[in-house]
Chains A and B, each alone.
Chain A
Amino acid sequence: MNIVIVIFKIVIVITITMLHVAYVVYFERKVIGHMQARLGPMRVGPHGILQPIADGIKLFFKEDIIPSNADKPIFYIAPVISVIGALASLAVIPFWEGFSIINLNIGILYILALSSVGAYGIILAGWASNSKYSFLGGLRSSAQVISYEIAMGLSLVGVMMLAGSANLMDIVNAQSKYPFILVQPVAFFVFLMAAVAETNRAPFDLPEAETELVAGYLTEYSGIRFGLFFIAEYAGMFIMSAITTICFLGGWKGPDFWIFSYVPDIVWFLLKVYALIFFYFWIRATLPRYRYDQLMGLGWKLFIPLTLVNIVVTGLVKIL
């Protein structure tokens, strides 16, 4: 009976995430369009509301072209690895009080591990495509992962110290008085930036850098395999926003007074996630892409020292 409930939960979470992925793409095109004094998609359905569905159908039925010199098995599985890395992270995310597919005690470690698995998909895709642009994209991704995963993990250490647990449910419950952003602003900032780099979003979208590398690791991909990478990227964004919400913004907890106390938990959770996703689009529309050495410098010379100092200060404050 237990397994049936788990499968049911999985189906619900995956379905909701996929719908989110589709409409996050639409939301992004609209937001960035309006920020550039354009309209974004307008033609499919009223205000282009059916655009993601049309795009999905198109991607699904497009020809799946495989370069003749590609390393076929790796080329086939690379997008799948990316998607699995992204979607498996959903298992530990608590959407509201007591609801997550599995309540893991090492939730944060699990998330960090799986977000690195997603990067493997990108690196393997770059390698297997046998194209210089893809290869450069893959290499960039690997270097980017090295410089950002560390800062990302370290920035969550402060949160774990405050909550006294790596269980995401416990972390949210530890924020019942105030969200951790108030006491960990530096960690929040570093995590936010590292999450942008982790999901390969502008201004850290060096692995796909379309002005330099055609489409980076995606260059040789088409049809549904390209679609899988796309899903992985946007699902990754959703998950990273969810983690930020859980670790710093108090997860599903909202203000507890007046009519706000009647709003269901999931609404608070999703509102915070949407705000963060909007932030991703916002900085994409604003900032130009970082140069490669600037990105590495930012990761190693600024974020890692900042998080280390943050850990030390958090520890000192906690002892005192």
Chain B
Amino acid sequence: MTTNEFFKKVFFIEIIKGLALTMKHLFTPAVTRQYPTEIREPFPGSRGLHALVRDAETGREKCVGCGLCAAMCPSQCIHIYTIEGEDHRKVVDRYEIDVLRCVFCAFCVEACPFGAVVLTDHFEYSDYSREAFYFTKERLLENWDKYMSGSKGREYFKRFWRPKSEDFGLSAVSSGSELQQPVEEKASL
């Protein structure tokens, strides 16, 4: 043992260094967020509460009931039931999401060819019953009205789901003039 090591051992140099570190941290500000009173802005594009897009023109859901989202869903929490409407159109009767099973992967949003389903950035919707998390179509449309209506929803689609959602049907979310991709590629969708 060298004198240096001996000195270190007798006077607890390592321990004193540790004590100095904790003492330093005592006077640095805490990083805690006081959650219910101090709510963090969610990052743009964060995946929270589900919503069904309401078409501004018809006032109805954009969803056509193709069932791609339900097919894509890894936790199989989307249930879609369609019926035959007037002049043999396919109409979405029920569109239900069991949020307690959802893993928030947003594959449904990626899969949707019409940009009709979306995860909003609203994340505070805890409740006391399981039933409150079984979202019906009406509830999902309400969510859209509450958290994504107007330009916010349009912006959201453009920024975070561009690869597929940019080229939705021409009446859709993005305004037609911004289409940049050639038509052939759109057809391959």
Q: Are B21 and A31 in contact (CB under 8 A)?
A: no
**Selected contact of B25 from candidates A34, A42, A287, CB within 8 Å:** A34
Name the distance in Å between A294's Cβ and chain B's nearest Cβ.
14
Name the distance in Å between A186's Cβ and chain B's nearest Cβ.
11
Stretch at the interface among B30-38, B128-136, B179-187: B30-38
A30-55 CB contacts (< 8 Å) to partner B: 31, 33-39, 42
Q: Are B22 and A37 in contact (CB under 8 A)?
A: no
- Kindly state the separation between the CA atoms of A31 and B19 in the bound complex, as whole angstroms: 13
Residues of chain A with a CB closer than 8 A to B21's CB: 286
Q: Are A39 and B32 in contact (CB under 8 A)?
A: yes
- Kindly state the separation between the CA atoms of A35 and B25 in the bound complex, as whole angstroms: 5
Q: Are A287 and B30 in contact (CB under 8 A)?
A: no
Residues of chain A with a CB closer than 8 A to B34's CB: 39, 42
Q: Are B25 and A37 in contact (CB under 8 A)?
A: yes
A160 interfacial contact with B, CB 8 Å: no
B-contact 0/1 string along A258-283, CB 8 Å cutoff: 00000000000000000000000011
- Kindly state the separation between the CA atoms of A34 and B28 in the bound complex, as whole angstroms: 8
Decide yes or no: A37 and B28 within 8 Å by CB, A42-B34, A282-B23 being known contacts. Answer: yes
Closest to A34 in B: B26
- Kindly state the separation between the CA atoms of A31 and B26 in the bound complex, as whole angstroms: 7
Q: Are B19 and A282 in contact (CB under 8 A)?
A: yes
- Kindly state the separation between the CA atoms of A37 and B32 in the bound complex, as whole angstroms: 7
Count B interface residues, CB 8 Å.
15
In terms of DSSP, what is the predominant structure of the interface of chain A?
helix
A259-316 CB contacts (< 8 Å) to partner B: 282-283, 285-287
Name the distance in Å between B182's Cβ and chain A's nearest Cβ.
53
- Kindly state the separation between the CA atoms of A39 and B31 in the bound complex, as whole angstroms: 8
Most buried by B among A31, A33, A285, A287: A285
Closest to A283 in B: B19
B83 interfacial contact with A, CB 8 Å: no
- Kindly state the separation between the CA atoms of A38 and B31 in the bound complex, as whole angstroms: 6
B91 interfacial contact with A, CB 8 Å: no
**Selected contact of B18 from candidates A31, A34, A38, A286, CB within 8 Å:** A286
Name the distance in Å between B11's Cβ and chain A's nearest Cβ.
11
Q: Are B30 and A37 in contact (CB under 8 A)?
A: yes
B170 interfacial contact with A, CB 8 Å: no
Residues of chain A with a CB closer than 8 A to B30's CB: 33-34, 37-39
- Kindly state the separation between the CA atoms of A35 and B31 in the bound complex, as whole angstroms: 11
Name the distance in Å between A232's Cβ and chain B's nearest Cβ.
26
Most buried by A among B15, B21, B23, B26: B26
Name the distance in Å between B26's Cβ and chain A's nearest Cβ.
5
- Kindly state the separation between the CA atoms of A296 and B135 in the bound complex, as whole angstroms: 61
A154-184 CB contacts (< 8 Å) to partner B: none
- Kindly state the separation between the CA atoms of A231 and B23 in the bound complex, as whole angstroms: 27
Q: Are B32 and A35 in contact (CB under 8 A)?
A: no
Q: Are B26 and A35 in contact (CB under 8 A)?
A: yes
**Selected contact of A287 from candidates B18, B26, B27, CB within 8 Å:** B18
Q: Are B32 and A38 in contact (CB under 8 A)?
A: yes
- Kindly state the separation between the CA atoms of A285 and B18 in the bound complex, as whole angstroms: 10
A52-106 CB contacts (< 8 Å) to partner B: none
Closest to B25 in A: A35
Name the distance in Å between B6's Cβ and chain A's nearest Cβ.
14
- Kindly state the separation between the CA atoms of A284 and B27 in the bound complex, as whole angstroms: 17
Residues of chain B with a CB closer than 8 A to A39's CB: 30, 32, 34
Q: Are A37 and B15 in contact (CB under 8 A)?
A: no
Closest to B16 in A: A286
Name the distance in Å between A28's Cβ and chain B's nearest Cβ.
13
Residues of chain B with a CB closer than 8 A to A283's CB: 19
Closest to B21 in A: A286
A99-144 CB contacts (< 8 Å) to partner B: none
- Kindly state the separation between the CA atoms of A42 and B29 in the bound complex, as whole angstroms: 15
Closest to B17 in A: A286
12 residue pairs A–B, Cβ–Cβ below 8 Å: A34-B25, A34-B26, A35-B22, A35-B25, A37-B25, A37-B28, A37-B30, A38-B31, A42-B34, A282-B22, A282-B23, A285-B22
Closest 6 CB pairs of A and B: A39-B32, A286-B22, A286-B18, A35-B22, A39-B30, A285-B22
Q: A35-B22, A37-B32, A283-B19 are in contact. List 19 more A-B contacts (CB 8 A).
A: A33-B30, A34-B25, A34-B26, A34-B27, A34-B30, A35-B26, A37-B28, A37-B29, A37-B30, A38-B30, A38-B31, A38-B32, A39-B30, A42-B32, A282-B23, A286-B18, A286-B21, A287-B15, A287-B18
